Structure formats: structure tokens, C-alpha cells
Amino acid sequence: MAKLKVAALMQNLRRHAKHAQCRRSFLERAQMRAAVDAEQGLTFLGVGSSCGKPAFALPYPLTWTEAALDRLEHLAEQHFCYVEYGQLAHLKRRVDDRELLAVQDWTPFGVVYVRAEYPLADTLLRDLTVTLQPEDAPESTAP
């Protein structure tokens, strides 16, 4: 599997973000973001302001339940991570505590922030979409 398609965009955005007072650079970055529409079938919302990770809309509302948290913790284990519970649920690598993913339960849909450069980011995003899908939600169209 591979990094997310937006990984190159994220690197480019970080590299050019130092031009904080450059109007032209800001417009170029905005155009780069606008050129990305989806990843793994999930709508690209933009870049999380505090975490600097790309944000994607889950195709269903997300409600945290004991069962959903059990499934999330199982997914974390499969990816050699643990779940850190703060304002958001975060998946962090056991080996170095690096955050790979955060999930926000916004209404009318959940939001996922993913470290795009993580070599298995596409797999993690796909697995998370399936893992957190409510039983009464229609099947995901993510590949």
C-alpha cells in the first residue's frame, strides 16, 4: 500500500507556508488544495489547522459507543498503535507515540485527520472507514 495521494500536496503546503505574508503564495496553496477532491472515496475537506493533517469527511454520522471504541482499539492494535482519548480519539504509534490519525465526531458526519506521509495511510484510512461504519449506515463506497 502507499501514502495518501495528498502526501505530495501536504509537503508542498508545508514548504510554502513560511510565506505567510505572500498573497500569491497563499492563492497558489489554495488552488493546490482545491485540486484535490477525494481520497479512498472520502471527500477532502482541507487541512486541519491545529494538526496540519489533511481532513476527510466520513460518509456517515459518527456516534461514539462502547462497540465503536472496541472496534477502534482493535484497528489500532492491527496498525501497532494505541488509542489516546482527548478531545478527539487519536491513533498513536506504540514505537514512538507519533500521531497517525485523529477522528472527530462532528454532525452530520465524522471527520478524519490522517498523516498523509505515513506509508500505510491509505490502508489505515480505508480500514477506519469500514471499522467505524454504523450498522445502520449504507455500505461505504470507499475502494
Q: Considering the domain boundaries, does residue 93 fall inside one?
A: yes
Q: Considering the domain boundaries, does residue 73 fall inside one?
A: yes
- Pairing relationship of beta strands 42-47 and 38-39 according to DSSP bridges: antiparallel
- The pTM is what? 0.82
| Cα-based angle 142, 119, 105 (whole degrees, multiple of 5) | 50
The number of distinct structural domains making up the chain is 1
Q: Considering the domain boundaries, does residue 139 fall inside one?
A: no
pLDDT at position 115, please?
92
pLDDT at position 100, please?
94
Q: Considering the domain boundaries, does residue 31 fall inside one?
A: yes
pLDDT at position 37, please?
79
pLDDT at position 143, please?
46
Distant-in-sequence, close-in-space partners of 28: CB < 8 Å, separation ≥ 6: 16
Q: Considering the domain boundaries, does residue 138 fall inside one?
A: no
Q: Considering the domain boundaries, does residue 54 fall inside one?
A: yes
In angstroms, rounded to a whole number, what is the distance separating the alpha carbons of residues 99 and 115? 8
pLDDT at position 72, please?
97
* Nine-digit cell string for 141: 463506497
Strand-pair partners of 89: 85, 103
pLDDT mean for each 10 residues of the chain (143 residues): 76 73 80 83 82 88 94 97 94 96 89 92 94 74 48
Residues spanned by the domain of 96: 7-132
Q: Considering the domain boundaries, does residue 39 fall inside one?
A: yes
* Nine-digit cell string for 32: 493546490
Q: Considering the domain boundaries, does residue 52 fall inside one?
A: yes
